[in-house]
Amino acid sequence: MPENTNIIFFDEYKKLDKLCSEMYGKNSGGVTCYLNDMMAVPVMQRNRIPEWNQTYDRLRELRHIRNQMAHGESSFEDYPCSEEDVLWLFEFRSKIMHISDPLAVYRRQTEGSTHATRAKGEHQLAVDHWQTEESMHAARAKEDFLLAVDQSQTERNIADYQRIKMDNVEVIDQEENDSFEKENDSFEKENDSFEKEHSMLKEIAVFGLIVLLIVVAVLLFGKVYVEYFLLS
């Protein structure tokens, strides 16, 4: 019975090694490649995979038994193999075929982490792009607002300037009108004064003329008197 179990064990291990060798593109030594890959995984990540260490220890132990059977000096039946060992090899080969073995689980997690990292990066890029667009929109809105404020301020300044200009024109016109009225009043006063002086001079001239006529009349009267009364 043990001899039959050992034969079944050896045959089952051979099937497992062939499957692993096909995975790694080799003719033999597939189980050793699988163990080496398990050893290459960081310890912290190994501990996240269920039954990782148990699988590694058991596979390594069964590989050692198979190597002793194939290369050892003892007879084939001297290496006791249990039906449990055969069953474990069969189940482990089935896990590999169904991609539920420890390395397959690790690779799925790693790929998932990679996809998550890539998705996070893409999400961050999308967020950055959105924030950039929002910043551009905000900057453009701010520029438009400032431009509108400047335009409104410019229009207000122009309106204020025109209003001040009109006020200044009105003030100047008023001052000119006041000045003209003052000059006109002054001219009228001077004209009145001139007319008064002219009227006074006219009266003086008339009075002088009257006096002159009186003097002439007196002289003529005197002359007539002298000639008529004294000389006769």
Q: Which amino acid is at 211?
A: V
Here the tokens at position 100 are 């539920």
Query: Can you give the pLDDT at residue 1?
Result: 47
Residues found in the chain? 232
Q: Give 49's DSSP letter.
A: S
Query: What single string gives the DSSP state of each residue in 132-170?
Result: HHHHHHHHHHHHHHHHHHHHHHHHHHHHHHHHHHHHHHH
C-alpha torsion 177→181→183→188, nearest 10: 160
Q: Which residues of 148-165 are buried (b: 16+ CB within 10 A; e: fewer)?
A: eeeeeeeeeeeeeeeeee
Q: Which pLDDT does position 15 carry in this prediction?
A: 97
> Using alpha carbons only, how large is the chain's radius of gyration in Å?
68
Q: What pLDDT is stored for residue 168 in this prediction?
A: 58
pLDDT reported for residue 36: 97
Q: What are phi and psi of 4, to 5 degrees?
A: -65, -40
pLDDT tens readout for residues 17-75: 999 999 999 999 999 999 999 999 999 999 999 999 999 999 999 999 999 988 877 77
**Long-range CB pairs of 188-194, under 8 A, 24+ apart, other chains included:** none
What is the predicted pLDDT for the residue at 19? Answer: 96
Q: What is the pTM of this model?
A: 0.50
The crossing angle, in degrees rounded to 10, of helices 2-24 and 52-71 is 110
* CA distance from start to end of the chain: 220
Report the half-sphere exposure of 136 (CA within 13 A, side-chain side).
6
Residue 20: how many other CB atoms lie within 10 Å:
25
Q: State the Cα–Cα distance between residues 62 and 68, nearest whole angstrom.
A: 10
Question: How many Cα neighbours within 13 Å face the side chain of 213?
Answer: 6
- Residue 223's alpha-carbon distances to 142, 210, 211, 215, 216, in angstroms, are 117, 20, 18, 12, 10
User: Can you give the residue ranges of every domain in the chain?
Assistant: 2-100
pLDDT string in tens for the chain (232-residue length): 456 899 999 999 999 999 999 999 999 999 999 999 999 999 999 999 999 999 999 999 999 999 998 887 777 677 778 999 999 999 999 999 999 999 999 999 988 765 544 534 443 453 354 456 656 755 675 676 567 556 756 677 666 667 766 665 565 566 666 665 676 666 566 656 656 666 676 676 667 677 777 766 777 776 766 667 666 6
